[in-house]
């Protein structure tokens, strides 16, 4: 074989290898996720349309380490269920998963508020919180036959390193014990919030599968260009992570569908950057017939 032919062969092999690596590292991009159950408006799993050509995650909102009394207080990692259990029960989890082979169900920890006040991450120590959290969450996850957890603490009475150690050890232990198969985080663009989640990401990115970044926490009226810049910024912050695009159906901020959300998602998907789409929340979407859930899944189901 002549030198020029050998060079061409080697170049071709390098190009094929580079393409294969790109395909392996690019997000799969057919993941749809939706929070459900926080607003007690009677929404059921079966109300939400499920496209068979996507990976679909319901995320129960929320499990919180607070007491269930009329004046809730922190319990140092002893989690209780705070979602609508009348309509989102263990039997209903089993039912929806048996009806749709592409459906998994997770629970989210924390949230913005509890009992009319802010929900704080408030451990007494790393060891005690992790021990209590592993025990209490394992019980809930097994009772409900859940597949994963999402971290959505938004207020903190602990420094970033303590948060990182607590959450990182919790996720690691649950995975090592075979209790969960995936974990996600749900940060947004706030200095205090980001300092905690970036500390977690720095040390435990390897156990976090998805970043449910709350892009709807940006200002209402966000443009496509701004959104693309925000997405790039957060992709750099959570480098190597599967970053999901997001909208809220409660009328809050961010890039709305009317202003081009799905146009932006199509661009990200064509660039191999879209890790999926998630929506807050099924509770809010119920009244309008889940229009954006259908549109999101249709977009994700199209091969890139």
Q: Which residues participate in catalysis according to the annotation?
A: 154
- 88 neighbors 44 (Cβ within 8 angstroms): yes
What is the spatial distance between Cα 209 and Cα 197, in angstroms, rounded to a whole number? 14
Angle of CA points 34, 134, 120, to nearest 5°: 65
Residue 40 φ/ψ region, left for φ over 0, alpha for ψ in the -120 to 50 degree band, beta for the rest: left
Beta strand residue intervals within the chain, DSSP E:
31-36, 55-64, 80-81, 103-111, 113-114, 117-118, 120-121, 148-153, 155-156, 182-185, 210-211, 245-248, 277-280
Which string of b and e fits 278-295 if b means at least 16 CB within 10 Å?
bbbbbbbbbeeebebbee
Phi first, then psi, for residue 57 (nearest 5°) are: -120, 120
Q: Beta partners for 152?
A: 110
Q: How far is CA 264 from CA 92, 226, 278, 301, in A?
A: 35, 10, 14, 16
Show the tokens assigned to 299: 């977009």
Q: Beta partners for 74?
A: 66
Biggest alpha carbon–alpha carbon distance for the chain: 82
DSSP 219: P
């Amino acid at each position: 074989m002549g030198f020029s032919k050998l060079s061409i062969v080697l170049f071709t092999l390098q190009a094929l290898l580079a393409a294969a690596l790109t395909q392996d590292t690019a997000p799969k991009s057919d993941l749809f996720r939706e929070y459900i159950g926080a607003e007690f408006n009677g929404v059921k799993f079966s109300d939400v349309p499920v496209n068979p050509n996507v990976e679909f995650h319901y995320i129960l909102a929320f499990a919180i380490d607070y007491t269930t009394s009329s004046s809730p207080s922190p319990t140092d990692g002893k989690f209780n269920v705070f979602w609508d259990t009348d309509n989102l029960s263990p039997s209903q989890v089993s039912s929806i998963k048996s009806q749709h082979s592409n459906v998994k169900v997770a629970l989210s920890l924390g949230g913005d508020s509890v009992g009319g006040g802010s929900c704080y991450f408030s451990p007494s120590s790393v060891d005690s919180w992790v021990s209590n959290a592993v025990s209490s969450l394992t019980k809930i996850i097994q009772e409900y036959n859940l597949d994963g957890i999402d971290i959505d603490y938004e207020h903190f009475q602990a420094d970033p390193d303590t948060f990182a150690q607590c959450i990182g050890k919790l996720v690691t232990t649950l995975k090592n014990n075979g209790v969960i198969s995936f974990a996600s985080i749900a940060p947004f663009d706030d200095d205090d919030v980001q300092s905690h989640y970036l500390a977690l990401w720095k040390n435990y990115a390897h156990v976090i599968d998805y970043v449910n970044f709350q892009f709807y926490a940006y200002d209402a009226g966000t443009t496509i260009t701004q959104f693309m810049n925000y997405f790039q910024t957060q992709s750099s912050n959570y480098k190597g992570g599967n970053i999901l695009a997001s909208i809220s159906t409660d009328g809050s901020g961010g890039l709305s569908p009317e202003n081009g959300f799905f146009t932006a998602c199509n661009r990200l998907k064509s660039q191999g950057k879209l890790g999926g789409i998630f929506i807050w929340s099924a509770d809010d979407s119920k009244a309008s017939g889940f229009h954006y859930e259908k549109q999101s899944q249709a977009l994700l189901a199209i091969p890139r």
